[in-house]
Amino acid sequence: MRYLFSRVHKGGRPPFRLPSFLVQTHSAATPLFWLPTDRQYRAQSSPSILSTSYQSQHTRFFGSTPANMAASSEVLSQTLSSITSIKLDQLQKQKDAYESAKDALLSAADKEADVRKRAETLLDGREKLPSIRRADNPMLSADNMKRFVEQAAFDPSVSKDLLREYEETVKKELDMTSNKYRFASMYGRMVREWTAASGQDKKMSVTEGGDKADKDDFVPVGRKEMHEQRKTWEEFVFTPKETDKDAIKRYLEDVFAGSSKDCKRALAELRKSFEKLQDNKNANWSHPFTVLQVKVCIQSILRSNNITGEKRSTLRDFLNNSVVLQEIADVLNMRMDARASWTWEAPVVVEQRRALNGKYRFFLDEDLLHSLLLEYIFRRWAVLIRQHFGRFTATTGVWKPDTKPMSKQDARRRQFFLDEKKPLSDSVAYEREDYFHGKILLDHLPEWMSEVRGGYDSSEADSKEDTRDSPLRVVQGLMHRLEADILVQTHMGNELTVLRSDFQWFGPGLPHSSIFAVMEFFGFNEEWLDFFKRVLEAPLRFKGDPNPDTPFGIRKRGTPISSTISDVVGESLLFCLDFAVNQKADGTPLYRLHDDMWLWGTTEKCSKAWKVVTEFSEVMGLSLNEEKTGSAIIHPKNKKVGLESTKEEETAKTSHNLPTGPVTWGLLKLNASTGHFEIDESKVDEHIDELRRQLGACQSVFDWVQAWNIYGDRFFTNFFGRPAACSGRAHVDSMLAMFARIQQKLFPDHAGGVGAYVKDMIASRFGISSIPDGYLFFPTSMGGLGLRNPFVSLFLIRDDLEKTPEEMLADYEEEEERAYRRAKERFETYEMERAVNKTAGGSTRGEDSFKDLEGEPFMSYEEFTRYRELTSPQLKALYQNLLMEPTTRDVELKGDIKAALEDEDDWRDMSSYDKWVVQLFHREVVDMFGGLTVVDKAALPIGLITMLRQSRFHWQG
């Protein structure tokens, strides 16, 4: 067998081998040659890399891995499975040996008539029992009891009642060890149930009604909506939509060059920059791959949703193997040099997956080397585009400010009365601009190559590695800003209009002609346009199609989901919309996160901005998603809102051509009468039904727990909206009430909610009752199942929301009035001193330019507050306070749990959530197991469980 790569290893070790699905075997026509140094075999032509769907057409490229190399995911999985079986078998033998020895010890003790002898026998015998690895019970000292029992042989003050208590204590501890064995054995049985269930996936289906079918000859059918959405997707992707490229360029020329001379000059500079970036010499596109760059690309791919299973495990293995990383870098450099002839080589498999929001997503199962090459190229383009678009908008005179500037006369008066020479940088207007350009504009593009960022479904554990907030965190922060602005503006007597929309099927429906018109407008050359076109026009074939001869289709429209090229072309095109809204709607910022759009401000400005959005959509060949498009007009707090006001609002929307639907996000809906986002119960009910279906489809306890943790806890928590001061404690209480409602509807026969249900499920499957709550909710590191309790996270932060938003507004008013009084007192004191001393004391107030203002009374409160957003540090402080998210308040380490801890460092290392759970449920666990650890993790197959849980969870249907 010919190998693509090899290495001369010291000591005669065999060459490293890659998994078969990664690399295709070379034909005899592809010669290989040795390099004279200790380097890899290199092929004289670029290798052909195929996806897993075509493994059967090619021989296995590499065999087993040497002991000192990272194992392939398949070998690793098999090894862990074998170790798990051995560990569980050994555990069962230990359990049997312990129970046999324990029975013999109890029998020997029972034969002793004297209570002191019984206690002595038990204490001596307990140390000789074969036992599961455990720490001694921290609540008991066997050494102390042995000495007390010895004392009883001479000292009559050690009563028989006390000795009987010692006897019962030792027996209870023996039972605790039995409990540890019993629960460790059950844990092993649950692991076997889990692995067995995963092996039956090919025999399992969820029908349209959600019932399970277990047939050897079944054909996956899927839900009705799955087929409907696939049909719609195919109609978009395989049918080109030709837009007028000349009309697009004329529109963009008007937006970017027609606004001002400053914009025209900045556009010319931007085009020159892009011209340089495409040059191989200037931009160093030749041989860019290093081990570090390969690792960056691997980490980026791992954080996406594209790959699952074996490929995900393989990439993780590669991260720790410098030999493999160097081999991959070498091949990718060869491919980069040959990118002018790059092709897909074979159809790319499309996998249709259901998301928790009910929508189906269509992911590409690319081969890994293709993925790494394209990830680097488009990630680099993403960073460059973000940098250069950012420089363009930062050019003086290009980006219009949102806040109306102060008139010269007003600025002059403020200088005279307040000695204020210019608007403060410590202001709302300044901070808002900084936030928009730093957090919102081009948010979907990375700021640097090594940026680590999760997606909407990233777990809390994943997010700890992030260098930037996830898109979910960003949009939740944006909603906090909107809610804070509503509170402030309506409190000050201003009306506020809010719009929200996105594009329908934006990813699959984006016309390629529009993409290339935009790229040509910014100056991309033919070489790069051709490469982008070849990547976008991928040959596609659906995974699992019953007929293997089904012809594949060529993508003629849209971009692949969750890919960097999607971010590059999507953000480049929609940046034009951002700029158009800014230029044509009086500086209004379009708060756009990918294609999710938010606008708010005066009705007139929002109407102008919305007109720009609709015009842009028509020119680019895009359609707005009516289901997610809506607006709301929120009236000042002092204006009564009733039936007539509702009619007035609808009339105002119509007259200003605003969308008429509600403003929604996730499971929230904006209540125009209160100005707050509220949980939409009807949407929650839909998800309760779906969650019931998904839980019912789980074939193992571990799958059930994982499905609950992701859907029943994380999903609802995320899409109920993150609590913040602007929403107050009322929002947290509404979340608590909704979680209670979810559990009541899901588990109507279980008053104890999800915990009681899981106990019954375990009892029915494994015949074990008397399960402590701590076993369910304790983390897996302590031998628990890690079942998430959504109430705990909310109670950790609830007490930190002490003030209502209304109280914070009242505090601001008082502070602003104090600031006005202090300014007036300073001015009047100064005027008195000036009148006495006949001198300005160096102040500009006494200069000739202010002669006309001398003798005037201090400015009114209305004038003092006229430009709050430009001048008021108190207003900025109010916004910052309203935007603050509550911090967790840990439970105290008190009482018997402190005694049960072997090391208080363990407590400090726990998360706030785990501290609450352990403190809440510890008593029953300590009573049953003698400590806080249910089962020592060395006795459990943690490795296999961790590996399986690292795979992306697949939802049924």
Over the stretch 770-819, which tens digit does the pLDDT of each residue have? 899 999 999 988 889 999 999 999 999 999 998 999 999 999 999 999 99
What is the spatial order of strands in the sheet that 539-542 belongs to? 360-365, 348-354, 539-542, 553-554
720 within a domain of the structure (yes/no) = yes
Whether residue 142 lies inside any domain: the answer is no
CA 165 to chain centre: 54
Torsion angle defined by CA atoms of residues 390, 396, 402 and 406, in that order, rounded to the nearest 10 degrees: 160
Residue in 425, 321, 246 with CA at minimum distance from that of residue 69: 321
**763 found inside a domain:** yes
Residues sharing a CB contact under 8 Å with residue 903, sequence separation 6 or more, in sequence order: none
Q: Which residues contact 66 (CB under 8 A, 6 or more apart)?
A: 13, 14, 16
DSSP secondary structure of 42-69: EESSPPP---GGGGGGS--S--PPPTTS
Residue 735 included in any domain: yes
Which residue type, as a one-letter code, is found at position 291? V
668-671: strand order across its sheet: 664-665, 668-671, 676-679
- Cβ(193)–Cβ(701) below 8 Å: yes
- Model pLDDT for residues 534-556, shown as the tens digit of each residue: 999 999 999 877 666 677 899 99
Percent helix, strand, coil in the chain, to 5, is: 55, 5, 35
CA-nearest of 262, 258, 240 to 249 is 258
637: its two tokens: 């707090």
Among candidate residues 821, 813, 725, the one with its CA nearest the CA of residue 480: 725
The rounded Cα 704 to chain-centroid distance in angstroms is: 21
Whether residue 773 is contained in a domain is answered as: yes
Half-sphere exposure of 11 (CA within 13 A, CB side): 3
Calculate the CA dihedral of residues 417, 418, 420, 426 and round it to 10 degrees.
-150
Q: Degrees (nearest 5) of the Cα angle 613, 618, 620? A: 90
282 C-beta neighbours (distance < 10 Å), count: 10
pTM of the model: 0.85
Tokens of 898: 């402190």
- Opening angle at CA 71, ends 67 and 74, nearest 5: 135
Q: Tokens for 79, please give them.
A: 């090894």
Using H for helix, E for strand and C for coil, what is the string for 567-607?
A: HHHHHHHHHHHHHHHHHHCCCCCCEEECCEEEEEECHHHHH
Nearest C-alpha neighbor of 33 from the set 45, 21, 16 = 45
Model confidence pLDDT, tens digit, residues 551-577: 789 999 999 998 999 999 999 999 999
List Cα–Cα distances, 290 to 39, 229, 287, in angstroms. 15, 41, 8
Query: How confident is the model at residue 942, as a pLDDT?
Result: 67
Beta bridge pairs of residue 353: 361
CA angle 750, 753, 755 (to 5 degrees): 105
The percent of residues in the chain predicted with pLDDT above 90, rounded, is 59
Q: What is the pLDDT of residue 452?
A: 87
DSSP state of 953: P
User: H helices within 46-159, ranges in order?
Assistant: 73-110, 115-126, 142-152
CA 157 remoteness from chain centre: 65
Q: How far is CA 347 from CA 52, 367, 538, in A?
A: 11, 11, 7
**What's the number of domains the chain is made of?**
1
Residue 813 neighbours by CB distance under 10 Å: 13
Q: For residue 939, which of 152, 13, 185, 27 has the smallest C-alpha distance?
A: 185
Burial of 172 (C-beta count, 10 Å sphere; 0-12/13-18/19+): middle
* Strand-pair partners of 542: 350
- Is there a domain that residue 709 lies in? yes
Closest CA to 355 of 502, 197, 225: 225
SS3 state of residue 402: coil
Residue 579: inside a domain, yes or no?
no
For residue 500, give the 3-state DSSP assignment: strand
Domain that holds residue 692: 684-802+890-950
In one-letter notation, the amino acid at residue 101 is A
- Asked whether 377 and 30 are in contact (CB, 8 A), the reply is no
Enter the tokens of residue 495: 């009306």
Q: How far apart are CA 876 and CA 431, in angstroms?
A: 8
Pairing of β 42-43 and β 32-33: antiparallel
Residue 648, pLDDT score: 67
Helix axes 912-929, 160-199, angle to 10 degrees: 120
Q: How buried is residue 380: exposed, middle or buried, by Cβ count under 10 Å (0-12/13-18/19+)?
A: buried
Phi (first) and psi of residue 566, to 5 degrees: -65, -40
Q: Provide the sign of the torsion angle of the four alpha carbons 237, 243, 246, 247, taken in this order.
A: negative
Alpha-carbon dihedral angle through residues 559, 565, 570, 571, given to the nearest 10 degrees: 170
In whole angstroms, give the CA distance from residue 691 to residue 456: 18
Is 332 a domain residue?
Answer: no
Q: How far is CA 565 from CA 206, 214, 299, 305, 381, in A?
A: 34, 41, 17, 15, 9
Listed as own residue / partner, the contacts of 759-764 with beta carbons closer than 8 Å and 24 or more positions apart are 761/701, 761/704, 762/186, 762/190, 762/701
CA 293 → CA 40, 300, 312, 380, distances in Å? 19, 11, 18, 11
* Cα separation, 201 vs 700, whole angstroms: 12
Cβ neighbours of 232 (radius 10 Å): 14
Classify each residue of 137-168 as buried b or exposed e, where b means 16 or more C-beta atoms within 10 Å of its C-beta.
bbebebeebbebbeebeeeeebeeeebeebbe
Residues of the chain with pLDDT under 70: 1-81, 132-140, 198-222, 282, 422-424, 457-462, 546-549, 638-650, 837-848, 938-953, 957
Cα three-residue angle 933-936-941, rounded to 5 degrees: 130
